[in-house]
Structures are given as structure tokens and as C-alpha cells.
């Protein structure tokens, strides 16, 4: 089989990633199509990085935004921004060229960072749903129960647990030594899919769905309680509706963010499980489409905030104006109507 591959590679130099035995086949796109794909991916990377950079800067710079919820949003935006900076450029080259040209060490690091930032995102969304549940369902206890210190603990856990978990599987030989019967041998040279084996597919499925079930359950309860609170406020004391309305608005916005996360990641997660059952039948092109559909989620949250949060729109206007250099700007109340 390898001799046939090599013969084909000699006849068609661009048909394989490397001129070696067992090289991966390479999908060669027309130059025009390559350029379009590169430009589209570059635009997505720019939107992801700049959008999340605005969130990180706004929450860090404006003192009015130093709340537990916004600190979680800042940490989530940081993960999405780093994904755009450190992971997506190499993923772009791999997707367009259908080969990995950057060596085994960088492949391992790329896999580690890719998995890390994705797990950090779902952990943070789960913690944010807990925060919103406390704010809506226990409004009197919320200021003392979910403090900045508590949010920082969640942030440490949201980064620490995924970092340790991913390092264990990427940088140790436990999988190779103890779970060899679950592994799928790499079919060719020039691929970078270290963790796409049968065991990983089965393990990641509950890692994705358990937080999702928690988030969905919490948001269902949140919206039921919020609807009941809205009726009570309208019936008894409309003057108390401002803060409660803002909390419900935040819960609704973050619920939309969770819904979009599920929409973006569900196809890829299901495909990973199906592949582990059916010996990796997904064509490379379909796999690339699914993973980039998941990546798109990292660019969505800042766009959601622009359309949903008045304070975020005000912060953007200030950041993009000369007023940002004024000493008084960090203390502006962005929530003031």
C-alpha cells in the first residue's frame, strides 16, 4: 500500500503531504478557492480576537463593570481571544492545506491549547449559569453569596481543572500504555489529531453534555422564576423593577449565549462520538466544517453583547473615542440611563 502511495506522490507531487512512506493524502484546492478560504478564516480570526479583546479591556478598565458576573465574562472572553490568537491561525493552515507542516511538538501544543480553551469556555458558561440562577432565584442572598472572591475561585477552577485534565491526556503516556485497545492508530504522516481516538470520543461526550444539562436545567428555572417575579413587580411595586429587570435581561442574554454555544458545538461533539463507534468514518472536509462551526462560537459572544447590553455599546463608544484618555472615564457609570 505504501509503495502505491509513493508512486502516486511521484506522479502528482502535491497529492500527498510528504514524500515519505505512508504520507497523508493532500486535498489540493484551486488557488482562487484557497485565497477565499484563507481570507474568510482570517476575517473570522480578526473578529474573534478584536471582539473578545474589547470585552476584556472594557471589563478591566471601567470600574462599574467590576462585578462577579462580568469577571466571569472577562475570563470567558480571554479564553476565546487566546483561541483566536494561538489556535485558529494554525488550524486555518491545516484546514486549507489538509496537512500539518509544523512538527510533532507544535502539534501536541496546538492540541493542548485547542482542547484547553474549549473546555474553559464550557466551564465558564456553566459557572455563569450558576451565577444567574443565584441572582434571579435568591436575589436577597446574591450580594453576599456570589461575591467577587467567589467569582475568582470559579475562574481559577475554570482554568485549572481543564488545564490539568488536558495535560494529563496530551503530555503523559497513560492513554498509550493503559488504553491501547481503545486507540486508533494514526493512518498517515502529516496529520495532527492526537486525541481523536475511541476513548477520547467516549470521554468527551459526557464532559460536554453534563455541563449542558446543568446549564439548561438552571436556565429553565431562571426563566420561570423571572417570569413570576415580573408579574409580582408589575402588580405590587413598579418602582422596584429597575434592578430586577436588569438581572432578567442579563439572564436572557447569557441564556442566548449558552444556546448558541450548544448550537455550535453539538454537531462536532456528536460526530466525535459517532466516529468512535464507526471507526472514524467522517471525511476530512466534513470534519473541518464541523470544527470551524464550533470555532465560530468564540466570535459570537461579543456580537451578542453588542445587541443586548447597553453598557457594552457605551463602553465601545468610549473606547473608540478620545474620551478614553480622560482620567474620569474609568469611573463612568455605564449602567446609567
Quote the pLDDT of residue 208: 76
Q: How far apart are CA 155 and CA 217, in angstroms?
A: 22
**Cβ-based burial of 297 (10 A; exposed 0-12, middle 13-18, buried ≥19):** buried
**Cβ-based burial of 305 (10 A; exposed 0-12, middle 13-18, buried ≥19):** buried
Alpha carbon distances (Å) from 169 to 22, 37, 312, 327 = 26, 32, 38, 48
Quote the pLDDT of residue 62: 92
Closest by Cα among 256, 262, 251, 218 to 122: 262
Closest by Cα among 280, 321, 261, 305 to 123: 261
| The total number of residues written for the chain in this structure | 337
Q: How far apart are CA 6 and CA 184, in angstroms?
A: 23
Report all structural domains of the chain as residue ranges with CATH numbers, in order of start: 31-330 (1.20.1070.10)
Is it the case that residue 239 has pLDDT exceeding 70? Answer: no
Most confidently modeled of 3-7, 190-194, 302-306?
A: 302-306
Helix (H) or strand (E) holding 213: helix 198-236
- Per-residue pLDDT tens for 12-70? 445 777 777 777 777 777 888 889 989 999 999 999 999 999 999 999 999 989 999 89
Q: How far apart are CA 314 and CA 305, in angstroms?
A: 11
Is it the case that residue 334 has pLDDT exceeding 70? Answer: yes
Give me the mean pLDDT over the 167-186 stretch: 64
- Per-residue pLDDT tens for 246-296? 666 667 777 788 888 888 888 888 887 777 677 667 777 788 888 898 899
Is it the case that residue 133 has pLDDT exceeding 90? Answer: no
Amino acid at each position: 500500500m505504501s509503495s502505491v502511495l509513493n508512486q502516486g506522490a511521484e506522479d502528482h507531487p502535491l497529492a500527498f503531504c510528504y514524500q515519505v512512506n505512508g504520507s497523508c493524502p493532500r486535498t489540493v484546492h484551486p488557488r482562487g478557492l484557497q485565497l477565499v478560504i484563507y481570507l474568510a478564516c482570517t476575517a473570522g480570526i480578526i473578529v474573534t480576537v478584536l471582539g473578545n479583546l474589547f470585552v476584556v479591556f472594557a471589563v478591566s478598565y471601567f470600574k462599574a463593570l467590576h462585578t462577579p458576573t462580568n469577571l466571569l465574562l472577562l475570563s470567558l472572553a480571554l479564553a476565546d481571544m487566546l483561541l483566536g490568537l494561538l489556535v485558529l491561525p494554525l488550524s486555518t493552515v491545516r484546514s486549507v492545506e489538509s496537512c500539518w507542516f509544523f512538527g510533532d511538538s507544535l502539534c501536541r501544543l496546538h492540541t493542548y491549547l485547542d482542547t484547553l480553551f474549549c473546555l474553559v469556555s464550557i466551564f465558564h458558561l456553566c459557572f455563569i449559569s450558576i451565577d444567574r440562577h443565584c441572582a434571579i432565584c435568591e436575589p436577597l442572598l446574591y450580594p453576599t453569596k456570589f461575591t467577587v472572591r467567589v467569582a475568582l475561585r470559579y475562574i481559577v477552577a475554570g482554568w485549572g481543572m481543564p488545564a490539568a485534565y488536558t495535560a494529563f491526556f496530551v503530555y503523559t503516556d497513560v492513554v498509550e500504555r493503559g488504553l491501547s485497545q481503545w486507540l486508533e492508530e494514526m493512518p498517515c504522516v502529516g496529520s495532527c489529531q492526537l486525541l481523536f481516538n475511541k476513548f477520547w470520543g467516549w470521554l468527551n461526550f459526557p464532559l460536554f453534555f453534563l455541563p449542558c444539562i446543568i446549564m439548561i436545567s438552571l436556565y429553565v428555572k431562571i426563566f420561570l422564576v423571572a417570569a413570576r417575579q415580573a408579574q409580582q413587580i408589575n402588580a405590587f411595586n413598579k418602582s422596584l423593577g429597575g434592578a430586577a429587570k436588569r438581572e432578567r435581561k442579563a439572564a436572557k442574554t447569557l441564556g442566548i449565549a449558552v444556546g448558541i454555544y450548544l448550537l455550535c458545538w453539538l454537531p462536532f461533539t456528536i460526530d466525535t462520538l459517532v466516529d468512535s463507534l464507526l471507526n472514524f468514518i467522517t471525511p476530512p472536509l466534513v470534519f473541518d466544517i464541523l470544527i470551524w462551526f464550533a470555532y465560530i462560537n468564540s466570535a459570537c459572544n461579543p456580537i451578542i453583547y453588542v445587541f443586548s447590553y447597553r453598557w457594552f455599546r457605551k463602553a465601545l463608544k468610549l473606547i473608540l473615542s478620545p474620551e478614553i484618555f480622560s482620567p474620569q472615564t474609568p469611573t463612568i457609570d455605564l449602567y446609567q440611563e
